[in-house]
Chains A and B, each alone.
Chain A
Amino acid sequence: MENLHFEYEVAGNNFSQAGMASDAVKSTLKKMGIASEDIRRVAIAMYEGEINMVIHGGGGVAVIDIFFDHIEIKLIDHGKGIENIELAMTPGYSTAEDEIRALGFGAGMGLPNMKKYADVLEIESEVGVGTTVYIRVDFH
């Protein structure tokens, strides 16, 4: 089977639209008949990553490749970058402003959640240049 390829623009700082790309991927996987536990792992990991792009990365693009046994998600932004990735991965660590916290995000659980649900999580980031997050989820 050929893999399916999608690209979604993710608008920066547009909180009310955040999650649209993840939502679209979720419904594609549903239509393909992927198991709901797998879909949920994809949805959570991508949604957290998408939210991060919106609130920390100034928006960017989500590149999706769906294969018969796994999905690869690349979240690319050209925002401020992450200075210390290890620190950013610490549960509870967040640089989010109070106004983001008031919206229900910024608990510092996004990257730990992504790590928990993804089979592979790789983060490349350069301060002032941007961040690329690679997520792979295998279908069981």
Chain B
Amino acid sequence: MKVSEIVQLLDGVVLSEGDNMEKDLHSACASDMMSDVLAFVKDQAVLITGLCNPQVVRTAEMMDMLCIVLVRGKKPDTTLVELARDRGITLIATPHRMFAACGILYQAGLKAEV
């Protein structure tokens, strides 16, 4: 699934274009606890989260994740957006809540594991 497809499925907006807009993304993880992401993520490409602070980008960066989806219409400040842009990570905001966003992407074929 390409980033453009995620954006479309989630009625999202792209806040920062990453380096991998054309890459096929296969798996995702959803969490509001960054330590859980650091503990359990293997090679998931997408991070879906209700958090909205720079540590979301740092965590994704540490895990080599390519795309972050901010749920519930969160509007990140410029620091977060700049950090994502700088790291080449795609940042998407969606009005959907966590459960719905996950369900929509899962149904469309994004998996929990690679």
| Interface segment out of the listed B2-10, B13-21, B32-40, B99-107 | B32-40
A15 touches B35 (CB 8 A): no
How many inter-chain contacts with C-beta < 8 Å in the A-B complex?
68
Chain B residue with Cβ nearest A94: B35
| Interface segment out of the listed A82-90, A105-113, A124-132 | A105-113
Q: Which residues of the partner chain B approach A47 to less than 8 Å between Cβ atoms?
A: 38, 58-59, 62
| Interface segment out of the listed B22-30, B48-56, B66-74, B90-98 | B48-56
A36 interface residue (CB < 8 Å to B) = yes
Chain A residue with Cβ nearest B61: A23
On chain B, which size bracket covers the interface?
A: 20 to 34
A18 interface residue (CB < 8 Å to B) = yes
Chain A residue with Cβ nearest B87: A23
B64 interface residue (CB < 8 Å to A) = yes
A103 touches B33 (CB 8 A): no
A22 touches B62 (CB 8 A): yes
A11 interface residue (CB < 8 Å to B) = no
Q: How far is the CA of A48 from the CA of B15 in the complex (A)?
A: 27
Chain A residue with Cβ nearest B54: A16
Q: Which residues of the partner chain B approach A112 to less than 8 Å between Cβ atoms?
A: 39
A105-B55 in contact given A16-B79, A26-B62 (Cβ < 8 Å) = yes
Q: Which residues of the partner chain B approach A40 to less than 8 Å between Cβ atoms?
A: 62-64
Interface residues of A in 78-127 (CB under 8 A from B): 103-105, 107-110, 112-113, 116
Q: Which residues of the partner chain B approach A16 to less than 8 Å between Cβ atoms?
A: 53-54, 79
From B38, B54, B64, contact of A109 by CB (8 A): B38
B35 touches A113 (CB 8 A): yes
Main secondary structure of the interface of B (DSSP, over half): helix
Task: Mark contacts of A45-57 with chain B using CB atoms, 8 A cut-off: 1 yes-contact digit, 0 otherwise.
Answer: 0011001000000
Interface residues of A in 15-66 (CB under 8 A from B): 15-19, 22-23, 26, 36, 40, 43-44, 47-48, 51
A116 touches B39 (CB 8 A): yes
Q: Which residues of the partner chain A approach B39 to less than 8 Å between Cβ atoms?
A: 109, 112-113, 116
Task: Mark contacts of A68-83 with chain B using CB atoms, 8 A cut-off: 1 yes-contact digit, 0 otherwise.
Answer: 0000000000000000
Known contacts A47-B62, A116-B39; 18 additional CB pairs below 8 A are: A15-B53, A15-B55, A17-B54, A18-B55, A19-B58, A23-B62, A40-B63, A44-B62, A104-B32, A104-B35, A104-B49, A104-B51, A104-B53, A104-B55, A105-B33, A105-B35, A107-B36, A109-B38
